[in-house]
Structure formats: C-alpha cells, structure tokens
Structure 1
Amino acid sequence: MILLRKILFPFAVLYGFITTIRNWFYHKGILKSYSFPIPIIAVGNLSVGGTGKTPQIEYLIRLLSPNYKIAVLSRGYKRKSSGFLLADYASTAELLGDEPFQLHQKFPSIQVAVDANRKNGIERLLALENKPDIILLDDAFQHRKVKAGFYILLTAYNDLYADDFILPTGNLRESSSGVKRADVVVVTKCPPTLTEAAQNQIRQKLHLLAHQQLYFSAIQYDVMLYSESERCSVASLLNTDKLLVAGIAKPQPFFNHLQDGNDEELEFPDHHDFTESDIQTIQKKSKNKPIITTEKDFVRLKGRINPAQLFYLPIQSIFLSNGENFNQQINNYVEQSTGNRPIS
C-alpha cells in the first residue's frame, strides 16, 4: 500500500495543483461564494476521515442549544436518498446517513438536515417557519460555495496535517496551506496526559497565523453502556467475555478501551453498510455474549441484532485546557455576528 501511494505521487501533485487553483478562483471571486445573514459555523478537516468531527459538532450543540435554535447541516455521507431532507419521526440512518441520524436521535430538540449542496440546504433551512438561529455545517471546510462566518479545523494528534501529503500519496484533501481559512484549529484525540511542552512542539509544527487559536482535545468515553432499553456500567462488563464491533475510521482506541483478554474484535470500514451476511457473522461470533459497538454503528445495527445483547459506548470531546476560552470565542462570534465575514 505504501509503495502504491509513492507510485501515485504524480497524481498527488496534479490533484494538489487542481485544488490550489480552485481555492485561488474562490479567493479572487472568479468562483462565487455565498454568505447568509445568520451565524454559520463550519467544522471540518484537511484530511480524509477520522478527526472526530461528530464529537466536535456535539460539543457545539451542547454549548449553544440552551440559548439558540440550532440546525446541523450535513451532506449525509452514504445515505440512500438525495437532495434536501429534514429529519423527522420517519427518518432512518439509511435516509439521513449514520452520523446525522445519530445527532437527530441524540438531540431531538435541534434540526438536522442533509444536502450535498450546502447553499441549497441553508436556503431551505432559512425558509422554514421555525428557522434556526445558528447553522452548524458538518464536514464543510472544502465546501467553498458557502462562506461560513467561523471555521473550526480539526487535525488528529496521531495524524497531523503538517505530517501528511495530498491524496492519493497521503490523506490530505487539499494543501496544508488551506489551514489559513481556519479561525480555530483543534488537535483532536490527544492523550489526556499530553504535556504543555508536547503541545508547544505541535504548535511550532503547525505554523498557525497570529490570529488563529489552537486548542487540544481528547476523547472521553462514557462510564455507561446503553442498549435500546437499559444501561449498565462499563466496569461491570470489562471482565466479561464480549464481542467488540466497530465500523469507524481508526477504531483501535475504542477496542483498547474495552478490550479484555478473551474478547473478540470485528472491524468494518468507516460508515459500513452492514449486510445480512455481516449480521450473521456478528451473531455467530458473539455466541450470545454481549456485543458492544460505537454509537455511530449502533444506529445501523439497532433492530437487526438481539436488543438484549447489543450495547453502545458514547463518547464526548473534552478540551485538555482553555476550554472556557474556546466557549467564549464561539459565544462571542454568535453574539456579534449579523452575517458572515469574507474569507481572506
């Protein structure tokens, strides 16, 4: 695989050139970006998958929803529908995509919509009778057709954009110079014990602009496991034989957190569409043992596996330090914004 990526280096150079020209066209106004008279916060990354966008979106929902009407707009990756769709009681993971459906179920008081055309999606949300006060754009850092008012760029601790290269040789969707569009950069999935000296080393490596704020976050696992109808503590099942199932990018930390010596692991691709054959494999390997999966996978497995066996482990994003500063920066933008500023 590594050799193949090296062989594809010329295509990476070509892809990087195309994305650079595209960004230059937007910068010069040759390609038009659209702004809207409402605070819009975009969360995204420079790389492909695995940076923790959904936990960051959930963090913003918890921060803002007590005081504002929130809408989340996603493209709905791998959904079996098209166009604009606003989540309601009839929505499913197949129609919305697993992550939007997870947000819809977890935060019933907010609006969740999907549309690959973010401009159209925003216009449809603003045309609602109960229109939102704030729109959170999920995975929209490269969606230049819309000008968000505030950009949060995520980069994973073990896969920093500064150490990566453009697709297909690396995993970057565009040149690392794209970081200049960010207001805030969050290094996600950090070890909880990351020292200040290690943080400063990363800070120097990322070469941020003077106005850009850098934060460090970690994944916090819930102490409880949840099924459709009950819950139990993680501790109560740690020493119990179980099957761990994950269809997410980079699932090893999830496995490590729950793994006991006799546990089995089943790993599937990110956003995996579980087939009947997959379900049979899971059931066969479980041998009536508890099955623990991620929250994202649970929304696709629920109703297809014995509910008495199937549990999920929620996660949250927490800041290692200066979380209050991040919250204040977001709140200041929302309070002061009457629209969206142009991107330099």
Structure 2
Amino acid sequence: MQVLRKLLFPISLVYGLIVFLRNRCYDIGIFSSKSFNTRTICVGNLSVGGTGKTPMIELLVKSLHHDYQLAILSRGYKRKSNGFLLSTDKTSVEDLGDEPFQLKSKFPKVVVAVDADRSNGITQLEQIVKPDVILLDDAFQHRKVRPGYSILLTAYNNMYVNDWYLPTGDLRDSKREARRANTIVVTKCPKNLSILERNEIVNRINLKEHQKILFSCLSYNKDLKGVSVNLAVLKDKKVTLVTGIANPVPLVDFLLEEGLTFDHMKFNDHHFFTEQEINVLKGKECILTTEKDYVRLKSRLTNLHYIEVSHQFIGNDKEVLEEELKQFMTTNS
C-alpha cells in the first residue's frame, strides 16, 4: 500500500494545486465566506482519518450545555438521507449517520442536525431552533462558513506538519490553513509525553500569535456499556472486537495492555453491516465494539458491549480550553 501511495505522487501534486487554488480564491474574495449571527465553534482537521473529532464535540457539549442552548451540525457521512435533516426521537442511524446519531443518543436534549451544506444548515438552525451556539463537526475545510472559533485536531503519530497531500499522504487540505485555527489540539499523545517533546512539537507547528496549542491522550472507560460489565470480566470470555473506524490501533493497543485476548474483525470507517455479516456476528460468544459502531449494531445484536473513549488533557490543558471557550462565549454574546 505504501509503495502504491508513493507511485501516486504525481496525482497528489495535482490535488495539492487544486487545494491551493481553492483556498487562494477564498483568501482574495473570489469565493466568499459567510459569518453568522449565531456563535459557531468548529471542530475539524486537515487530514483524513481519525483525530478524535466526535469525542471533542462531546467534551464541548459537556462544557457548555448547562449554560447555553446547543445545536450540533454535521455532514452525516454515509447517511441514507439528503439535504438538511433535523433529528427527532424517530430519526434512525441510517438517516443521520453514525456519529450524529451517537451524539443524539448520548445527549438527547441537544439539537442535532445534518447537512453537507454547512451554510444552509446553520441558516436552517437559526430559523427553526435559534440556538445560542452551533457546534460544527468536521467543518474546518468548509470555508463557505467563517466560524467564530475553530479547534484544529492533529494526531500525535501523524501530525499535519509531517504529512503530504492525498493520495500519497493523508492531507485533504493545506498545512498553511492551520493558521485559521484558534486552538490546535495534538490528540492521541502518549500519557507520559514529556515537556521536552511538547516543546519540540510546539516549535514544529510554529504557532501564530493568536493560537494556543493543547495536548490530549485517549482515555477508555473500563466500565463497558450496552451489556454493562467491567472490561476485566471479558478476560474469561472468547471476545471478538468489531471496529468500523478510521484508526483502531489505539484501541487495540489499549485492550492488549489490559491483558484482553480477542479476534479482531476490522471494517472500513462508517461501515454499514450487511445481513451476512450480522449473521456471522450472531454466532460470536462476546462482541466488543466502539461507541460509533454500537449505534449501527445495537438493534441487530444482543451479545454486544461497547467501550467509551474521551479526551484526557495533559497537565492543565483542559482548564486552558475551558477558559478559551468562556472568553469566546462571553465576548460574543
């Protein structure tokens, strides 16, 4: 696969040129970016693959929902509906997409909507819901919208500063666009990340004056949900790990560190399971999966546990982010 990606380098040059021209058109005003009256907080990345966007949206919801009426707007990747859709109690995972459905399931009082056209989605939410703040999930590259505050995520083991354009690398947007972020979060860091290495990363990223950089690692909850048990109980069972996420490696590593033995059935990100695959899974003794996969499987399987994941900030970085959010919300009221 790596050899093939290198052979496709000429295509990545063409892709990079297209990205440059598109951003340049926004920079000089040929394409327009729209600001909205409603406060908007964008969470996104510059690359394809998992950087922890959904757990970051969850963290923002937990930080803000007590004081503000929130709405979450997502594209709803691989959903089976079109256009703008406002979730209700009857909206299915197929209608919303797995990640928005996960968020709606976890935070039923928070408005969740999907629209590939983020500008239209915000307009609809302003007219129908009138929220205090809209959280834009995976929208950093959508320059038709100029968010009030932007959080850019980059994974520790594949930071955008070391990456290259698709298909040779994983970048879907220019590294230069990181300058638009208010806060850059380096996710999936080792828990023992040293101050020296943090400083080295800061130097490589070369922050602008208005930017903050924060560091987080993934934290897995050992109290499993679905069929609720502690993770330790599964050590005595024949476990099948089922993942349909961009990068299951951190989860696999965590489970191995916990002493779990398991078979791993790996599917593509946002995979919708066929009847044949479900029948195979029904024959498994014990299935452990991710929260995102669980929302696609829970109505079809009974022997199902899922593990929650969240961002655990290093040092006092969580307090730094909360203060940033507080300043944004109070100065834009």
TM-score higher than 0.5: yes
Choose 181-190 or 2-11, whichever is displaced more: 2-11
CA distance in structure 2 between the partners assigned to 1:59 and 1:255 by the alignment: 23
Shift of 1:33: 0.9
Name the CA distance, whole Å, in 2 between partners of 1:243 and 1:169. Answer: 32
**Residue 192 of structure 2 corresponds to residue 193 of structure 1:** yes
Alpha-carbon offset, residue 252 of structure 1: 1.9
Q: Partners in 1 of 2:252 and 2:168 — Cα distance? A: 28
CA deviation vs aligned residue, 1:58-105 (integer Å, no higher than 9, x gap):
000000001000000000000000000011111111000000000000
CA–CA distance in 1 between the matches of 2:249 and 2:23? Answer: 35
CA distance in 2 between partners of 1:262 and 1:323 (Å): 34
Q: Secondary structure at the match of 1:43?
A: strand
SS in 1 for 2:204: helix
Residue 232 of structure 1: CA displacement?
1.4
Partner of 1:342: none
User: Could you tell me which residue of structure 2 aligns to residue 138 of structure 1?
Assistant: 137
Give the deviation of 1:222 after TM superposition. 0.9
Question: Secondary structure of 1:29's partner?
Answer: coil
Deviations 1:239-268 (A, max 9, x none): 432111111111122123234464211111
User: Structure 1-normalised TM-score?
Assistant: 0.93
1:45, 1:141 within 8 Å by CA — same for their partners in 2?
A: yes
* Residue matched to 1:126: 126
Give the distance between the partners of 2:293 and 2:76, measured in 1 at CA. Answer: 15
Distance in 1 (CA, whole Å) between partners of 2:3 and 2:217 is: 32
- In 2, distance between residues paired with 1:215 and 1:314? 22
> Corresponding residue for 2:292?
296
Instruction: After TM superposition, list the pairs within 5 Å mapping 1:74-113 onto structure 2.
Output: 74-113=74-113
Could you list the structure 1 runs, at least 4 aligned residues long, displaced by more than 3 angstroms after superposition. Answer: 259-262
The answer to whether 1:231 aligns with 2:228 is yes
Contact 2:79 2:97 in 1 (8 A): yes
**Aligned-CA RMSD value:** 1.2
Contact 2:235 2:260 in 1 (8 A): no
Deviations 1:84-135 (A, max 9, x none): 001111111100000000000000110000000001100100001x421000
- The alpha carbon displacement at 1:179 in A equals 0.6
CA distance in 2, matches of 1:262, 1:175: 41
Q: Number of aligned pairs?
A: 330
2:82 and 2:147 mapped to 1: Cα distance?
23
Residue 193 of structure 1 aligns to a residue whose secondary structure is coil
Per the alignment, residue 341 of structure 1 pairs with none
Q: Equivalent residue of 1:127, what SS?
A: helix
2:329 match: 334
Does the residue aligned with 2:50 lie in a helix, a strand or coil? coil
Aligned to 1:155: 154
**Map of 2:270 onto structure 1:** 271
Q: How does 1:196-215 map to 2 (within 5 A)?
A: 196-215=195-214
Structure 2 contact 235–261 (Cα < 8 Å) conserved = no
**Shift in Å at residue 334 of structure 1?**
1.1
SS in 2 for 1:304: coil
Matched residue of 1:202: which SS?
A: helix
Cα deviation, 1:258-281, whole Å, max 9, x if unaligned, reads 344642111111111111121122
**Unmatched tracts of structure 2, length 5 or more:** none
Counterpart residue number, 1:32: 32
Secondary structure at 2:135 match in 1: strand
Q: Identify the match of residue 308 of structure 2 among 291, 314, 338.
A: 314
State the 1:238 CA deviation. Answer: 3.1
Give the structure 2 partner of residue 249 of structure 1: 246
Structure 2 vs 1, CA of residues 255 and 283 (structure 1 numbering), >3 Å: closer, same or farther? farther
More displaced 10-residue stretch of structure 1: 177-186 or 250-259? 250-259
Residue identity matched to 2:197: A
- Contact map agreement 1:238 1:258 (CA 8 A) in 2: no
SS in 1 for 2:185: strand
